[in-house]
Amino acid sequence: MSVQRGNYKKKGQKYKNSSKFKNNLHDNSKRTQEINSMVISEVCKRCMQIIQWKIQYKKYKQLTQPKKCTKCLQKTVKKAYYVICSKCAKDNRICAKCGEKAEIIHENTPTASEAAAQQSALEAELRFMTERERRAYYRNQRKVKVDEEGPDSCDGNDNDLEEDGDNDSSSTEDGIIEEELEEDLKTDLQNLILSGQSEKTGDDDSSPSDVLR
């Protein structure tokens, strides 16, 4: 057996692919489309790369039923290769696959096409709603927005409401004063009318002899 270290050239790969592997080239079923469009979230960068490799090379196997979480011991894990449910992973700030504390990749924001599709679907639903249902929907949206912003965002609104209340009270007081003045004017006018009538009746009651005198 030769033990020569030099003068040796390692041979290259025997078979080389001329094109990149496509997992949907011969299988474009609904399951394959669902796996390819799946959003990987709540895992660390390394675990995300592992899952992406499995998806890319058609090695990803979906769960047939929920799996038990290693933290809460409940059957709440619904994604393959995950060992921790979403709630426990968020509460403990750990990777849902390996359970390590690392930089967690949160759920990706939807793409422009996905956002446009969601917006068009929402607009279509709103068109078929009644006016009452539309107003209720917008009211709930505003309520959710206020809840997300927190109580601090309501301070300005509270101040505005207080100012509005002060303005309302001042306007109410002004209205009361105006009503009192109007009543006083009416009373004075009635008194003048009555006094004028009494003077007229007094003149009528005077006799002709008094007039001649």
Is residue 38 in a domain?
yes
The per-residue pLDDT for range 77-124, each reduced to its tens digit, is 999 999 999 999 989 999 999 999 888 877 655 667 667 888 888 888
pLDDT value, residue 200: 53
Total domains, the chain? 2
Is residue 181 in a domain?
yes
pLDDT value, residue 196: 60
**In the predicted structure, residue 210 carries a pLDDT above the cut 70:** no
Is residue 196 in a domain?
yes
pLDDT grade for 146, boundaries at 50, 70 and 90: confident
**What percentage of the chain exceeds 70 in pLDDT?**
64
pLDDT value, residue 129: 85
Mean pLDDT, range 40-66, rounded to an integer = 93
Is residue 123 in a domain?
no
Q: Terminus-to-terminus CA distance in the chain, angstroms?
A: 170
Report the 10 Å Cβ neighbour count for 157.
10
**In the predicted structure, residue 57 carries a pLDDT above the cut 70:** yes
| Confidence (pTM) | 0.47
Range of the domain at 77: 30-92
Report the 10 Å Cβ neighbour count for 48.
17
pLDDT value, residue 17: 83
Looking at 92, 122, 143, the residue that finishes a domain is 92
Look up residue 102 and give its DSSP letter. S
Looking at 47, 73, 92, the residue that finishes a domain is 92
Is residue 7 in a domain?
no
pLDDT value, residue 126: 84
SS3 103: coil
pLDDT value, residue 211: 45
Closest CA to 56 of 64, 66, 48: 48
The per-residue pLDDT for range 21-31, each reduced to its tens digit, is 899 888 889 89
Closest CA to 96 of 108, 78, 84, 106: 84
Only one residue has tokens 């504390």, namely 101
Report the C-alpha gap between 213 and 114 in whole angstroms: 110
Q: In whole angstroms, how far apart are CA 39 and each of 53, 93, 106, 108?
A: 14, 19, 10, 7
Report the C-alpha gap between 54 and 205 in whole angstroms: 120
The per-residue pLDDT for range 148-185, each reduced to its tens digit, is 676 555 455 545 544 554 555 455 555 555 666 666 66
pLDDT value, residue 120: 86
Run of H or E residues at 182: helix 155-205
Looking at 39, 66, 92, the residue that finishes a domain is 92
Is residue 10 in a domain?
no
**What percentage of the chain exceeds 90 in pLDDT?**
26
One-letter amino acid at 209 equals S
SS3 22: coil
Is residue 88 in a domain?
yes
Is residue 137 in a domain?
no
Q: What is the mean pLDDT of the chain?
A: 77
